[in-house]
């Protein structure tokens, strides 16, 4: 890609003025040369789902067979098709409940992935205002239609649709306030400002033709450097203006996708990173198949049970071989090296058949009914959580959302407690004393006794103050 950048630059007079390194790329901004960005083949459309129409079936099967229990029942189903060791005359009767387990898990994962796609469609179809040079005004377009170099207008309380550099604000001071709640959860407002040399520079964006040179996309949310160079509007080719207008940008002039504009009527910026190249999306990890602690323990338990089953089947097969009619043939062959009887190989074959039969007989060591109801119950729990009135915000009536029902049983499992205790006047040491969950108390009883006495004392003092206020009012 860098070779394409440099070949494009070398054809113009830009290469004689601007030097590019391998980790930098150029963006054309403005209506005249913005089409030069088309070779980048970038779009502002995002997808965070795991599956597509073409790969959902193999991916779901790969995820399902990452569970040891599914591999176990697949092996049992294959063994049941062998008539010599199967008690079902070669019919894989275990295949039906096993297929139900895989089907329920697959439907559950597909349903949750469809919810992710629905959320992606909501984001991709949001409306923003993009400058149209033909109409000489800002028109409404969808987020997914934003392209590199577009000049975008964001109004108060709207979400920023892509990573952009700030060109203009409604404030005369050239500052704006943004809320990064969607990025890092903070509700504190960050102040952004335009380049001081850029104030009141642009009146008509139809004549706005610049190039922006910056580094390739990276995952550093708090660092950005870029430079704007003015292009000569009178020339048909891409040439730098003789005025040599140059504007440097840093993190103070840079806005991230997902930030919300607050306490500012509007801002205008140009798109630098879009879609999956935005810093937020670069920082987003790839979706993985999440497993709860219970599922991990279940995998270990199935492995242990299967090893125990193999050992038990091996012992049972040896006992069966010993008690058979030709019980000494096997011993003579390996201990004494006897080659007098040709039925030895039949004994070995009978031993293998007996071993396989015992494995199939002991299939119920791992209950298929448990694995059948387990994913179905998780799906039901996820539905009940999303419809729980007690977990609904009463102000806007927004309920809880279950993005991954595999982790339902992890709710309420507290491993760490973080506090904002300062050590300015005291030592940074915290010792557990007591706490209460509902009506159940945990910890030192003396602490609760002392705290109850303190509460009673405070209640008496408050009652005394109330009586004094009533007495004064009556006078």
d(CA 106, CA 108): 5
Extended beta strands in 13-58, E state: 24-29
Q: Tell me if 79 sits within 8 A of 95, measured CB to CB.
A: no
Residue 331 phi/psi, 5-degree rounding, is -70, -40
Residues in the chain: 475
Q: Tell me if 51 sits within 8 A of 59, measured CB to CB.
A: yes
Selected catalytic residue, list 109, 123, 163, 420: 420
Encoded tokens for 203: 């009146």
Question: What are the counts of helices (DSSP H) followed by strands (DSSP E) for the chain?
Answer: 11, 15
Spatial neighbors of 184 by CB under 8 A, at least 6 apart, are 221
Spatial neighbors of 52 by CB under 8 A, at least 6 apart, are none
Q: Tell me if 260 sits within 8 A of 159, measured CB to CB.
A: yes
Q: Tell me if 101 sits within 8 A of 68, measured CB to CB.
A: no
Q: Tell me if 34 sits within 8 A of 149, measured CB to CB.
A: yes
Q: Tell me if 20 sits within 8 A of 5, measured CB to CB.
A: yes
The question of whether 55 is a catalytic residue gets the answer no
What is the biggest distance separating any 2 CA atoms in the chain, rounded to whole angstroms?
123
Q: H helices within 167-261, ranges in order? A: 181-184
Encoded tokens for 280: 């937020």
d(CA 217, CA 23): 9
Encoded tokens for 211: 């190039």
Extended beta strands in 21-89, E state: 24-29
d(CA 301, CA 19): 62
d(CA 203, CA 112): 48
**Sign of the CA dihedral running 51, 56, 61, 62:** negative
Residue 164 phi/psi, 5-degree rounding, is -145, 160
Q: Tell me if 60 sits within 8 A of 51, measured CB to CB.
A: yes
Active site residues: 420
């Amino acid at each position: 890609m860098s070779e394409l950048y440099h070949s494009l630059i070398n054809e113009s007079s830009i290469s004689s003025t601007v030097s590019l390194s391998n980790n930098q790329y150029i963006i054309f901004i403005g209506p005249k040369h913005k089409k030069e960005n088309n070779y980048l083949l970038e779009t502002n459309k995002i997808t965070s789902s795991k599956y597509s129409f073409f790969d959902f079936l193999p991916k779901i099967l790969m995820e399902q067979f990452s569970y040891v229990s599914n591999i176990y029942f697949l092996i049992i189903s294959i063994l049941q098709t062998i008539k010599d060791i199967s008690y079902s005359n070669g019919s894989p009767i275990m295949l039906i409940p096993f297929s139900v387990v895989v089907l329920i898990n697959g439907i559950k994962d597909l349903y949750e992935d469809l919810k992710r796609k629905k959320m992606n469609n909501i984001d991709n179809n949001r409306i923003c205002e993009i400058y149209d040079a033909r109409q000489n005004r800002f028109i409404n377009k969808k987020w997914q239609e934003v392209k590199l170099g577009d000049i975008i207008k964001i109004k108060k309380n709207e979400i920023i649709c892509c990573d952009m550099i700030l060109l203009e604000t409604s404030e005369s001071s050239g500052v704006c306030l943004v809320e990064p709640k969607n990025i890092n959860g903070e509700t504190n407002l960050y102040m952004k400002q335009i380049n001081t040399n850029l104030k009141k520079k642009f009146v008509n964006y139809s004549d706005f033709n610049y190039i922006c040179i910056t580094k390739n996309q990276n995952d550093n949310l708090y660092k950005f450097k870029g430079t704007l160079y003015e292009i000569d509007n009178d020339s048909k080719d891409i040439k730098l203006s003789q005025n040599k207008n140059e504007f440097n940008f840093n993190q103070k002039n840079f806005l991230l996708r997902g930030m919300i504009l607050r306490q500012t009527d509007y801002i205008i910026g140009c798109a630098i990173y879009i879609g999956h190249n935005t810093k937020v999306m670069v920082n987003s990890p790839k979706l993985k198949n999440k497993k709860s602690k219970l599922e991990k323990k279940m995998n270990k338990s199935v492995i242990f049970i299967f090893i125990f089953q193999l050992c038990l089947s091996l012992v049972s097969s040896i006992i069966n071989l010993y008690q058979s009619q030709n019980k000494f043939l096997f011993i003579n062959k390996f201990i004494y090296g006897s080659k007098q009887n040709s039925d030895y190989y039949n004994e070995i074959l009978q031993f293998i058949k007996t071993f396989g039969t015992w494995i199939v007989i002991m299939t119920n060591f791992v209950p298929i009914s448990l694995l059948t109801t387990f994913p179905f119950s998780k799906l039901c729990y996820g539905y009940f959580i999303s419809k729980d009135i007690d977990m609904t915000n009463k102000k806007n009536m927004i309920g809880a959302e279950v993005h991954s029902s595999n982790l339902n049983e992890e709710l309420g499992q507290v491993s760490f407690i973080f506090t904002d205790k300062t050590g300015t006047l005291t030592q940074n040491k915290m010792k557990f004393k007591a706490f209460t969950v509902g009506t159940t108390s945990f910890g030192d009883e003396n602490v609760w006794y002392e705290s109850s006495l303190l509460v009673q004392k405070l209640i008496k003092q408050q009652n005394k103050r109330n009586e004094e206020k009533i007495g004064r009012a009556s006078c």
